Structure 1
């Protein structure tokens, strides 16, 4: 996130508040990335994993909330950061609520998710269209591909929200997958916002090496691994519970 511009004649209190917001945003984002990485390491469902998960949720909500609110007021407004902040906030909160609810339970909060995901889709499509009007395919210094990514993620989330409402909740592997992919994609957005969105904070040798792409790629690889693991586990359970008369039959 760029530095929030404050007029020199503003009071020291205003300058202090702006600095506090910046440091809180950076600090929360750093804690979010570190705790998100740690959540992959510790065994799922253990007290330590749950504690790290709570730290991740709180830090990511603070980071994304500040980013979404402050981005329109930067010297050069960053509309991509607004979408990224809203989408990350939404993904983390909806993922957390998925595991807070009992399996097959649908709360009042869940009905408000679909309008948010649809709004992200509409805003991303519009901003991508604006970027395409630029000969360089850019908007606010961001490539149009960034808005395509938000459009795809928002669309997948909207489909999931619609299924959640129609099915009156989610259970089993579907519930776990919903929690997993939303948390991981939120971590992916946060990591790319740091490593690819703020390359100037790293040494020039690191910027030119291509290393800054690795965290995002690693997160995607972990997401694919765990989604595959969840799907395979669900498949095995279905096989175990298949009626005995159907075991071993083939067409």
Structure 2
């Protein structure tokens, strides 16, 4: 019998794989053109939904997917703020940035606390993940939070800064999607020969994410 969490996992992996494909198209296409905009929209939707599902899975199955909870929150805030970055002059955009900044600050604090706690354990692992994994995600969440603050309190945001913030957030989001696909549960979608080649999966994928 297929359970709800299995369906959520399959949807998470499928949408994450789609995010990698369209993300690569958006990244490689000429910026501002129709291909870039269309692929970018699909990336935002697929990455956003996959991130939310990942966060839910991480909360429900914390024994094996706890770090996915934090990565899911980070991925969702990154793509959301990536869209807001290019629309910062729109009405209400800064209020949304404040909400995202709060989420990123809480997520960063929780990741740092989890990493610190992991270092006190005998094998320096918390729920199967190494302390360095938590600190690595903490660094990305902290960078995102710093950018959120800059976009929120800045009185004059130049076009160059808007685009830079957009690219930074989308590229980190793409990195998370690709990392999850090639070293996380999504690696199971590849043929066994590819999984065993060393290009797709590390011996312990949790420590490679």
TM-score (norm 2): 0.85
Indicate if the aligned counterparts of 2:100 and 2:148 stay in contact, CA closer than 8 A. Answer: yes
Q: Taking structure 1 as reference, are residues 178 and 133 closer, same or farther at Cα in structure 2, changes over 3 Å only?
A: same
Question: Partner of 1:226 in structure 2?
Answer: none
Question: Partner of 2:106 in structure 1?
Answer: 119
Secondary structure class of the residue paired with 2:8: helix
Question: Partner of 1:136 in structure 2?
Answer: 123
Q: Taking structure 1 as reference, are residues 142 and 167 closer, same or farther at Cα in structure 2, changes over 3 Å only?
A: same
**Cα distance, 1:127 vs structure 2:** 0.5
The match for 2:166 among 163, 174, 179 is: 179
Question: Partner of 1:212 in structure 2?
Answer: 200
RMSD: 2.4
Alignment of 1:90 onto 2:68 = no
Question: Partner of 2:178 in structure 1?
Answer: 191
Q: Which ranges of structure 2 fall in alignment gaps of 5 or more residues? A: 202-209
Q: Taking structure 1 as reference, are residues 19 and 196 closer, same or farther at Cα in structure 2, changes over 3 Å only?
A: closer
The match for 1:74 among 34, 58, 61 is: 61
- State the structure with bigger RCO (CA 8 A, min sep 6), 1 or 2: 2
Q: Taking structure 1 as reference, are residues 208 and 77 closer, same or farther at Cα in structure 2, changes over 3 Å only?
A: closer
Question: Partner of 2:205 in structure 1?
Answer: none
Question: Partner of 1:49 in structure 2?
Answer: 36
Offset from partner CA, 1:97-154 (integer Å, 9 cap, x none): 1113338x95321221221111121001111012112222211111111111111111
Question: Partner of 2:26 in structure 1?
Answer: 39
Indicate if the aligned counterparts of 2:97 and 2:152 stay in contact, CA closer than 8 A. Answer: yes
Point out the structure with max Rg over C-alpha. Answer: 1
The match for 2:144 among 134, 153, 157 is: 157
Indicate if the aligned counterparts of 1:28 and 1:62 stay in contact, CA closer than 8 A. Answer: yes
Measured in 2, the distance between the counterparts of 1:17 and 1:204 equals 26
Q: Taking structure 1 as reference, are residues 23 and 207 closer, same or farther at Cα in structure 2, changes over 3 Å only?
A: closer
| Count of matched residue positions in the alignment of Structure 1 and Structure 2 | 200
TM-score (norm 1): 0.72
The match for 1:24 among 3, 8, 11 is: 11
Q: Taking structure 1 as reference, are residues 189 and 169 closer, same or farther at Cα in structure 2, changes over 3 Å only?
A: farther
Measured in 2, the distance between the counterparts of 1:201 and 1:68 equals 20
Q: Which ranges of structure 1 fall in alignment gaps of 5 or more residues? A: 1-11, 214-251
